[in-house]
């Protein structure tokens, strides 16, 4: 078992050396200055998508020389195209002042509260950051995300691991997550939150609770979680106090008693009856139904759960959207999709399938240097300083740099989404919702 004394923090010189090498590496590899790493990428996140993520995080716009829109998974988003997409690559930067002003005129805002209760809340872009707990990622990563969220008028989420002090200056942009282990949940953090997110399930491990390995449960992590350092932490599945939609309503009432002004988001996975779950959550008082599909997730999870339990988000969105419409409540609830949203095009396709907006997770880590190697839980954690609490490794991501990378990626996403709306002749991203007529289904490889 590891102990705090065995791990030394990195010296400033070492931090400077490693970050210098890494930053150059991300830049040169993604720009094509040096060879693409031959072992990079997989079917969902191809080498081109990862390198595009690094490129956008460096430059603030998409690389026109790479396939940055879709992966090669052979299904879902990767078989959908917007009808206007004919070229092999998509030029988001259609030249000309007219195109520029048309893009600028597109309303990108996302209304999060469509009910009469709680505060009115609209974010400036149709996405926000998903929950990544302190412990699963470092405080530096959390602060990077919070800074970018603030700069872009959107939100990020604590995940189930409490609220490190570094987030306090960004409280208006930080969602407090309440998950089954209740780790780090305190009245103050609920009172400070614009949104309280109840995580019933998560797409990467539907039906399973969270799991933080002992090696990552450092003294500071344990302190915030009010647990014992270096001991593995399991979150139960599901909430031990919820057996019905009535129990779920009690949960919501409890949060609203503490903070009547907070919006309530209910994060659920995608079972066969996901449409009924969404309706139940709405009637229990939720403002946001957050569907987390089975192919995403940034934490460690059993491979069997990631691949096989619950449906991919592409299939869940239209099912829930149509069911909410049938129930006559579609315009009183905000439908958010996550779990496999990799690119701006995935965001746009999700909205065209019926979501109002998306939650990003892995794409944010990719922007900060993730290679999708899947070693997050191994040894000291992420060797790039992302999913780690190792005092040395976490220094590879400094909040200034991380926020800059995320801000650039957001800028690239924003620009692409505006261009998609312009090409579809839509005045706002909200007008794209449910417009499956703008999509076409393509043969694999097309």
Partner 1 sequence: MTLAPPRPDVGRARTTGPDSEPLAEPNASAPRPPAPPPEHYQRYHIDTRHMPDRADLPTRFRVEVNRFELAKLLFKEIREYWGDWDVVLSRPCVYGVFSGPVGGFAPRPHLCVGCLRCTIQHPEAVTIRRNPQWQAWGDEYLKPAMVETLQQEAALGAVPVKGQGYRGRMGGPGWDGIWTDMSEIVRPTRDGIHGRETISTVVDLGAKPMYLRFDAAGMPAGETPAVSQVQLPMVLDMPPVHAMTPTIAAIWAATAHDLQTLALLPLRVMREEGLSGSQLVPVVGPGLGDPAGLAELARAPRMVEITDAALADEVRAAAPAAQVALRLPFAPGWRDALLGAIAQGLRVIHLTADYHGRGDGAFIRDLVIEAHTLLVEQGLRDQVTLIGGGGVVMAEHVPKAIICGLDAVSLDTPLLLALQFQPDGSMESRETARFVAPPGLEGDTDWGVQRLKNLCCAWRDQLLEILGAMGIREVRRLRGELGRAMFQEDLQREAFGGIDGFGD
Binding site for ligand SF4 (CB under 6 A): 365, 370-376, 382, 384, 386-387
**Binds 312, which of partner 1, ligand SF4, none (CB < 5 to 8 A, cut-off by type)?**
partner 1
Dist. CA 93–CA 100, nearest whole Å: 8
From the list ligand SF4, partner 1, none, partner contacted by residue 76 (C-beta under 5 to 8 A by kind): partner 1
Rounded to whole angstroms, the Cα distance separating 413 from 125 reads: 9
Yes or no: say if 18 and 396 are a contact pair by the CB < 8 Å rule: yes
Q: Are 432 and 440 in contact (CB under 8 A)?
A: no
Q: How far is the CB of 82 from partner 1 (least distance, A)?
A: 11
**Interface segment toward partner 1; rule CB under 8 A; list 253-261, 293-301, 397-405, 422-430:** 293-301
Q: Is 20 or 124 the residue whose CB approaches partner 1 more closely?
A: 20
User: Do 56 and 412 form a contact (C-beta atoms < 8 A)?
Assistant: yes
Contact of 269 with 201, CB cutoff 8 Å: yes
**Binders of partner 1 among 336-365, rule CB under 8 A?**
339-340, 353, 362, 365
Q: CA 176, CA 158: separation in Å to the nearest integer? A: 6
Instruction: Confirm or reject binding of residue 327 to partner 1 (CB under 8 A).
Output: no
122 binds partner 1 (CB under 8 A): no
Among 343, 361, 393, 373, smallest CA distance to 22 is for: 393
Shortest reach from residue 37's CB to partner 1, in Å: 5
Select 200 or 384, whichever has its Cβ closest to ligand SF4: 384
Tell me the closest approach of the beta carbon of residue 221 to partner 1, in angstroms: 16
Cα 163 to its chain centre, rounded Å, is 18
Can you list the pairs that 426-430 forms with residues at least 24 positions away whose Cβ atoms lie under 8 Å? Answer: 426/106, 427/105, 427/106, 427/107, 428/106, 428/107, 428/108, 428/109, 429/106, 429/107, 429/108, 429/109, 429/110, 429/126, 429/351, 430/107, 430/109, 430/110, 430/111, 430/126, 430/356
Closer residue to partner 1, CB minimum distance, 121 or 179: 179
The CB-of-73 to partner 1 minimum distance in angstroms stands at 4
Q: Does 183 bind partner 1 (CB under 8 A)?
A: no
Please pick, from the candidates 309, 333, 409, 426, the single residue that binds partner 1 as defined by CB under 8 A. 309
Interacting partner of 28 out of partner 1, ligand SF4, none (Cβ under 5 to 8 A depending on kind): partner 1
Q: Does 237 bind partner 1 (CB under 8 A)?
A: yes
| 159: contact with partner 1 by CB under 8 A | no
Interface map 363-382 toward partner 1 (x if CB under 8 A): --x---xxxxxxxxxxxx-x
Chain length of the chain:
446
Q: What's the token pair of residue 54?
A: 């690094």
Judged by beta carbon distances under 5 to 8 A according to partner kind, the member of ligand SF4, partner 1, none in contact with residue 86 is none
- Smallest gap from Cβ 19 to partner 1, in A, equals 10
Residue 209 interacting entry, from ligand SF4, partner 1, none, C-beta within 5 to 8 Å by type: partner 1
* Contact assessment for residue 287 and residue 194, using Cβ atoms and an 8 Å cutoff: no
Per-residue exposure over 359-384, b if at least 16 CB sit within 10 Å of its own CB, e if not: bbbbbbbbbbbbbbeeebbeebbbbb
Nearer to partner 1, 3 or 168 (CB): 3
The answer to whether residue 26 forms part of the interface with partner 1 (CB under 8 A) is yes
89 binds, among partner 1, ligand SF4, none (CB under 5 to 8 A by kind): none
Per-position x/- string for 50-69, each x denoting binding to partner 1 as judged by CB under 8 A, each - no binding: --------------------
Alpha-carbon span 441 to 446, nearest angstrom: 10
- In the range 243-282, which residues lie near partner 1 by CB under 8 A? 243-244, 247-248, 268-269, 271-272, 277
Q: Which stretch binds partner 1 (CB under 8 A): 55-63, 182-190, 308-316, 425-433?
A: 308-316
CA dihedral (34, 39, 44, 45) positive or negative: negative
| Residue 7 sits in the site that holds partner 1 (CB under 8 A) | no
């Amino acid at each position: 078992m590891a102990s705090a004394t065995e791990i030394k923090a990195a010296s400033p010189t070492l931090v400077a050396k490693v970050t210098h090498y890494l930053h150059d590496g991300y830049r040169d590899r993604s720009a094509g200055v040096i060879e693409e790493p031959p072992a990079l990428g997989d079917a969902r996140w191809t080498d081109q998508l990862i390198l595009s993520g690094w490129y956008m995080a460096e430059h603030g716009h998409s690389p026109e020389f790479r396939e940055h829109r879709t992966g090669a998974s052979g299904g879902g988003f990767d078989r959908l195209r917007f009808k206007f997409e004919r070229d092999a690559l998509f030029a988001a930067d259609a030249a000309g002042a007219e195109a520029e002003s048309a893009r600028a005129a597109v309303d990108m805002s996302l209304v999060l509260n469509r009910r009469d209760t709680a505060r009115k809340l609209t974010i400036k872009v149709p996405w926000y950051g998903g929950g990544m707990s302190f412990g699963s990622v470092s405080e530096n990563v959390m602060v990077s995300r919070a800074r970018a969220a603030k700069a872009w008028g959107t939100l990020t989420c604590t995940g189930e691991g409490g609220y490190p002090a570094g987030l306090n200056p960004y409280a208006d942009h930080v969602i407090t997550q309440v998950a089954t282990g209740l780790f780090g949940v305190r009245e103050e953090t609920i009172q400070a939150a614009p949104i309280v997110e109840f995580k019933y399930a998560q797409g990467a491990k539907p039906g399973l609770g969270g799991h933080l390995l002992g090696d990552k449960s450092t003294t500071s992590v344990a302190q915030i979680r009010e647990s014992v350092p270096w001991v593995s932490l399991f979150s139960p599945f599901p909430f031990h106090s919820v057996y019905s939609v009535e129990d779920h309503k009690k949960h919501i009432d409890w949060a609203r008693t503490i903070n009547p002004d907070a919006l309530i988001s209910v994060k659920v996975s995608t079972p066969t009856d996901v449409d009924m779950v969404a309706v139940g959550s709405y009637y229990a008082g939720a403002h946001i139904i957050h569907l987390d599909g089975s192919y995403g997730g940034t934490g460690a999870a059993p491979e069997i759960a990631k691949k096989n339990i619950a449906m991919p988000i592409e299939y869940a969105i239209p099912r829930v959207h149509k069911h909410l419409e049938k129930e006559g409540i579609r315009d009183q609830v905000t439908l958010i999709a996550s779990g496999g949203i990799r690119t701006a095009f995935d965001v746009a396709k999700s909205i065209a399938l019926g979501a109002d907006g998306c939650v990003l997770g892995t794409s944010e880590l990719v922007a900060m240097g993730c290679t999708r190697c899947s070693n997050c839980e191994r040894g000291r954690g992420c060797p790039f300083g992302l999913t780690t609490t190792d005092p040395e490794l976490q220094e590879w991501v400094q909040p200034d740099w991380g926020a800059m990378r995320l801000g650039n990626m957001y800028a690239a996403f924003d620009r692409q989404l505006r261009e998609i709306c312009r090409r579809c002749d839509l005045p706002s991203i909200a007008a794209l919702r449910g417009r499956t007529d703008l999509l076409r289904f393509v043969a694999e490889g097309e």
